[in-house]
Amino acid sequence: MSATRAIAWACSRDLVLALRSKSELALIVVFFVLVISLFPLGVSPDPRLLERIAAGIAWVAALLATLLALPRLFALDHADGTLEQLVIAPAALPALVAGKVFAHWLTNGLPLVLLAPVAGVQFGMQPQAIGVLTIALLLGTPTLSWLGAIGAALTVGTRSGSALLALLVLPLAVPVLIFGAGAAEATASGLGAEAHLSLLGAGLILTSVLGPFATAAAVRIAYE
Protein backbone atom coordinates (compact mmCIF):
# COMPACT_ATOMS: atom_id res chain seq x y z
CA MET A 1 0.00 0.00 0.00
CA SER A 2 1.37 3.39 -0.98
CA ALA A 3 1.73 6.18 1.56
CA THR A 4 -1.11 8.17 0.01
CA ARG A 5 -3.50 5.21 0.12
CA ALA A 6 -2.45 4.46 3.71
CA ILE A 7 -3.17 8.04 4.78
CA ALA A 8 -6.55 8.02 3.01
CA TRP A 9 -7.51 4.64 4.49
CA ALA A 10 -6.59 5.58 8.05
CA CYS A 11 -8.27 8.98 7.76
CA SER A 12 -11.53 7.59 6.33
CA ARG A 13 -11.63 4.80 8.92
CA ASP A 14 -11.22 7.19 11.84
CA LEU A 15 -13.76 9.62 10.36
CA VAL A 16 -16.35 6.85 10.13
CA LEU A 17 -15.66 5.80 13.72
CA ALA A 18 -15.82 9.40 14.93
CA LEU A 19 -19.12 10.08 13.18
CA ARG A 20 -20.62 7.07 14.97
CA SER A 21 -19.94 8.88 18.27
CA LYS A 22 -21.59 12.21 17.58
CA SER A 23 -22.01 12.87 21.30
CA GLU A 24 -18.23 12.88 21.79
CA LEU A 25 -17.80 15.30 18.89
CA ALA A 26 -20.46 17.58 20.34
CA LEU A 27 -18.72 17.44 23.72
CA ILE A 28 -15.63 19.16 22.31
CA VAL A 29 -17.69 21.97 20.78
CA VAL A 30 -19.78 22.44 23.92
CA PHE A 31 -16.66 22.46 26.09
CA PHE A 32 -15.04 25.14 23.91
CA VAL A 33 -18.16 27.32 24.02
CA LEU A 34 -18.52 26.91 27.79
CA VAL A 35 -14.90 27.85 28.48
CA ILE A 36 -15.00 31.06 26.44
CA SER A 37 -18.40 31.91 27.94
CA LEU A 38 -17.27 31.45 31.56
CA PHE A 39 -14.20 33.67 31.30
CA PRO A 40 -16.20 36.95 31.52
CA LEU A 41 -17.82 35.69 34.72
CA GLY A 42 -14.48 34.87 36.32
CA VAL A 43 -12.46 37.86 35.05
CA SER A 44 -14.53 40.96 34.37
CA PRO A 45 -17.47 41.97 32.18
CA ASP A 46 -15.59 45.08 31.02
CA PRO A 47 -15.87 45.04 27.18
CA ARG A 48 -12.49 46.69 26.61
CA LEU A 49 -10.71 44.23 28.88
CA LEU A 50 -12.43 41.27 27.26
CA GLU A 51 -11.50 42.53 23.80
CA ARG A 52 -7.82 42.69 24.80
CA ILE A 53 -7.75 39.16 26.20
CA ALA A 54 -10.18 37.56 23.74
CA ALA A 55 -7.46 35.96 21.61
CA GLY A 56 -5.78 34.42 24.64
CA ILE A 57 -9.10 33.09 25.91
CA ALA A 58 -9.88 31.48 22.55
CA TRP A 59 -6.46 29.84 22.39
CA VAL A 60 -6.60 28.50 25.94
CA ALA A 61 -10.07 27.11 25.26
CA ALA A 62 -8.85 25.50 22.02
CA LEU A 63 -5.88 23.91 23.78
CA LEU A 64 -8.03 22.50 26.59
CA ALA A 65 -10.59 21.19 24.10
CA THR A 66 -7.81 19.52 22.11
CA LEU A 67 -6.41 17.90 25.26
CA LEU A 68 -9.88 16.61 26.08
CA ALA A 69 -10.04 14.70 22.80
CA LEU A 70 -6.44 13.46 22.59
CA PRO A 71 -6.63 10.38 24.89
CA ARG A 72 -9.07 8.76 22.44
CA LEU A 73 -6.64 9.08 19.53
CA PHE A 74 -4.92 5.74 20.20
CA ALA A 75 -6.68 4.41 23.30
CA LEU A 76 -9.56 2.65 21.53
CA ASP A 77 -7.29 1.09 18.92
CA HIS A 78 -4.96 -0.05 21.69
CA ALA A 79 -7.82 -1.58 23.65
CA ASP A 80 -9.17 -3.73 20.79
CA GLY A 81 -5.79 -4.67 19.31
CA THR A 82 -6.10 -2.56 16.17
CA LEU A 83 -3.06 -0.48 17.01
CA GLU A 84 -0.88 -3.57 17.20
CA GLN A 85 -2.13 -4.62 13.77
CA LEU A 86 -1.24 -1.19 12.41
CA VAL A 87 2.30 -1.58 13.77
CA ILE A 88 2.85 -4.87 11.93
CA ALA A 89 0.85 -3.91 8.81
CA PRO A 90 2.68 -3.81 5.45
CA ALA A 91 1.76 -0.13 5.06
CA ALA A 92 4.12 2.50 6.43
CA LEU A 93 3.24 3.26 10.03
CA PRO A 94 4.03 7.03 9.70
CA ALA A 95 1.47 7.24 6.88
CA LEU A 96 -1.19 5.43 8.92
CA VAL A 97 -0.48 7.70 11.87
CA ALA A 98 -0.71 10.78 9.63
CA GLY A 99 -4.17 9.69 8.48
CA LYS A 100 -5.34 9.20 12.05
CA VAL A 101 -4.06 12.61 13.17
CA PHE A 102 -5.61 14.34 10.16
CA ALA A 103 -8.96 12.73 10.95
CA HIS A 104 -8.59 13.82 14.56
CA TRP A 105 -8.01 17.41 13.48
CA LEU A 106 -10.97 17.35 11.08
CA THR A 107 -13.33 16.18 13.81
CA ASN A 108 -11.91 18.15 16.75
CA GLY A 109 -9.69 21.00 15.54
CA LEU A 110 -11.60 22.24 12.51
CA PRO A 111 -14.85 22.85 14.47
CA LEU A 112 -12.89 25.09 16.85
CA VAL A 113 -11.54 27.07 13.90
CA LEU A 114 -15.08 27.53 12.57
CA LEU A 115 -16.24 28.72 16.00
CA ALA A 116 -13.46 31.31 16.29
CA PRO A 117 -15.49 34.10 14.62
CA VAL A 118 -18.31 33.45 17.09
CA ALA A 119 -15.88 33.84 19.99
CA GLY A 120 -14.50 37.03 18.46
CA VAL A 121 -17.94 38.56 18.06
CA GLN A 122 -18.85 37.53 21.59
CA PHE A 123 -15.88 39.47 22.98
CA GLY A 124 -16.32 42.47 20.69
CA MET A 125 -13.19 41.98 18.59
CA GLN A 126 -12.67 43.98 15.42
CA PRO A 127 -13.41 42.13 12.13
CA GLN A 128 -9.76 42.20 11.05
CA ALA A 129 -8.64 40.76 14.40
CA ILE A 130 -11.30 38.05 14.13
CA GLY A 131 -9.97 37.10 10.71
CA VAL A 132 -6.41 36.89 12.00
CA LEU A 133 -7.54 34.83 14.99
CA THR A 134 -9.28 32.36 12.67
CA ILE A 135 -6.21 32.06 10.43
CA ALA A 136 -3.97 31.61 13.46
CA LEU A 137 -6.17 28.80 14.78
CA LEU A 138 -6.21 27.23 11.33
CA LEU A 139 -2.41 27.16 11.35
CA GLY A 140 -1.93 26.37 15.03
CA THR A 141 -4.50 23.69 15.84
CA PRO A 142 -2.89 21.07 13.55
CA THR A 143 0.38 21.69 15.35
CA LEU A 144 -1.38 21.08 18.67
CA SER A 145 -2.80 17.86 17.23
CA TRP A 146 0.65 16.64 16.21
CA LEU A 147 2.20 17.51 19.56
CA GLY A 148 -0.69 15.79 21.29
CA ALA A 149 -0.41 12.74 19.04
CA ILE A 150 3.20 12.20 20.11
CA GLY A 151 2.20 12.49 23.75
CA ALA A 152 -0.83 10.22 23.29
CA ALA A 153 1.34 7.57 21.65
CA LEU A 154 3.89 7.71 24.47
CA THR A 155 1.22 7.38 27.18
CA VAL A 156 -1.08 4.85 25.51
CA GLY A 157 -1.87 1.95 27.81
CA THR A 158 -0.36 3.62 30.89
CA ARG A 159 -2.09 4.42 34.13
CA SER A 160 -3.07 8.07 34.55
CA GLY A 161 -2.40 8.50 30.86
CA SER A 162 -4.51 11.65 30.59
CA ALA A 163 -2.55 13.39 33.35
CA LEU A 164 0.78 12.38 31.83
CA LEU A 165 -0.44 13.51 28.43
CA ALA A 166 -1.27 16.96 29.75
CA LEU A 167 2.13 17.25 31.43
CA LEU A 168 3.87 16.34 28.17
CA VAL A 169 1.83 18.49 25.80
CA LEU A 170 1.20 21.70 27.76
CA PRO A 171 4.84 22.89 27.91
CA LEU A 172 5.32 22.16 24.20
CA ALA A 173 2.14 24.04 23.32
CA VAL A 174 3.19 27.28 25.02
CA PRO A 175 4.97 28.76 21.93
CA VAL A 176 1.93 28.01 19.78
CA LEU A 177 -0.32 29.83 22.24
CA ILE A 178 2.03 32.80 22.44
CA PHE A 179 2.30 33.30 18.68
CA GLY A 180 -1.38 32.49 18.08
CA ALA A 181 -2.71 34.95 20.61
CA GLY A 182 -0.01 37.48 19.69
CA ALA A 183 -1.15 37.55 16.07
CA ALA A 184 -4.63 38.81 16.95
CA GLU A 185 -3.29 41.19 19.60
CA ALA A 186 -0.81 42.68 17.13
CA THR A 187 -3.60 43.24 14.62
CA ALA A 188 -5.81 44.89 17.23
CA SER A 189 -2.91 47.19 18.17
CA GLY A 190 -2.41 48.28 14.56
CA LEU A 191 0.71 46.20 14.02
CA GLY A 192 1.16 43.50 11.42
CA ALA A 193 0.52 39.87 12.29
CA GLU A 194 2.71 38.48 9.50
CA ALA A 195 5.58 37.50 11.80
CA HIS A 196 3.34 35.58 14.17
CA LEU A 197 1.50 33.83 11.36
CA SER A 198 4.79 32.97 9.65
CA LEU A 199 6.06 31.32 12.82
CA LEU A 200 2.82 29.38 13.18
CA GLY A 201 3.11 28.28 9.57
CA ALA A 202 6.72 27.21 10.11
CA GLY A 203 5.63 25.19 13.15
CA LEU A 204 2.89 23.55 11.12
CA ILE A 205 5.32 22.55 8.36
CA LEU A 206 7.86 21.24 10.86
CA THR A 207 5.35 19.15 12.82
CA SER A 208 3.65 17.88 9.66
CA VAL A 209 6.98 16.64 8.30
CA LEU A 210 8.50 15.24 11.49
CA GLY A 211 5.29 14.45 13.38
CA PRO A 212 4.39 11.20 11.56
CA PHE A 213 7.84 9.70 12.14
CA ALA A 214 8.01 10.84 15.78
CA THR A 215 4.51 9.53 16.50
CA ALA A 216 5.21 6.23 14.75
CA ALA A 217 8.39 5.82 16.81
CA ALA A 218 6.40 6.57 19.98
CA VAL A 219 3.81 3.93 19.04
CA ARG A 220 6.55 1.35 18.53
CA ILE A 221 8.10 2.30 21.88
CA ALA A 222 4.74 1.67 23.56
CA TYR A 223 4.84 -1.94 22.30
CA GLU A 224 8.41 -2.67 23.32
Please give the full DSSP string across 26-38, using - where no structure is assigned.
HHHHHHHHHHHHH
Q: Is 113's pLDDT higher than 80?
A: yes
Q: Which domain holds residue 40?
A: 3-222
- Encoded amino acid at 151, one letter: G
Taking the C-alpha atoms of residue 179 and residue 21, their distance in angstroms, rounded to an integer, is 33
According to the model, what pLDDT value does residue 8 have? 92
Closest CA to 100 of 9, 192, 210: 9
Q: What is the pLDDT of residues 178-189, one digit of tens each?
A: 999 888 888 877
d(C-alpha 87, C-alpha 118), whole Å? 41
> pTM of the entire structure?
0.88
The C-alpha angle 218, 180, 191, rounded to 5 degrees, equals 150
Provide the domain count of the chain: 1
